[in-house]
Amino acid sequence: MAVTLWMMLLCLLMHGSFCTNEHIESGCLKWSLDKTDENNVCCDVCRPGNHLVKRCGPSPEELCTPCKPNRFTVQPDSFKCSQCTQCVGAQILLEKCTPTRDTVCGCKEGLMCGDDQCSFCITACVNGTFYDQMQQRM
């Protein structure tokens, strides 16, 4: 009985580890001394997936904080995180948004991305043809 319970607990723990979000370490990655206050440091670069809370302060760990769920940043010196893109309409989810990268969308079969960011889908061209005008978003 004890072995069965132990095995069930182990399976639950292993299953949970596959479902957890990417761990993001908080704080400032690169900082310099504050030129106006020798007791402070100023953050030059936040850790990946973090945004600035304030530029300068006594502790580099308190200058940056991780992006909240469904938000990301690719700029290490930004004061805000951006909202993750939602795949809509004919788009399909290729890669989930993480604190360090936006969502990657693709298009359903038979369609293709209408721009470099795949912000909309269009009907795929027949081999040997191309679109010479704007297409309607799907």
Radius of gyration from C-alpha coordinates of the chain? 22
What is the rounded CA–CA span in Å between residue 111 and residue 39?
58
Query: What SS3 class is residue 113?
Result: strand
pLDDT of residue 46: 97
Q: What pLDDT, on a 0 to 100 scale, did the predictor assign at position 126?
A: 76
Residue 128 pLDDT: 74
Residue 136: what pLDDT? 52
Please tell me what DSSP assigns to residue 112. Answer: E
Give residue-wise pLDDT tens across range 84-121.
999 999 999 999 999 999 999 999 999 999 999 999 99
Q: Give residues with Cβ within 8 angstroms of 75, minimum separation 6.
A: none
Q: Which domains does the chain have, with CATH numbers?
A: 25-83 (2.10.50), 91-122 (no CATH)
DSSP 18-38: HHSPPP---SEEEEEE-SS-T
Instruction: Determine which helix (DSSP H) or strand (DSSP E) holds 111, and give its type and residue range.
Output: strand 111-113
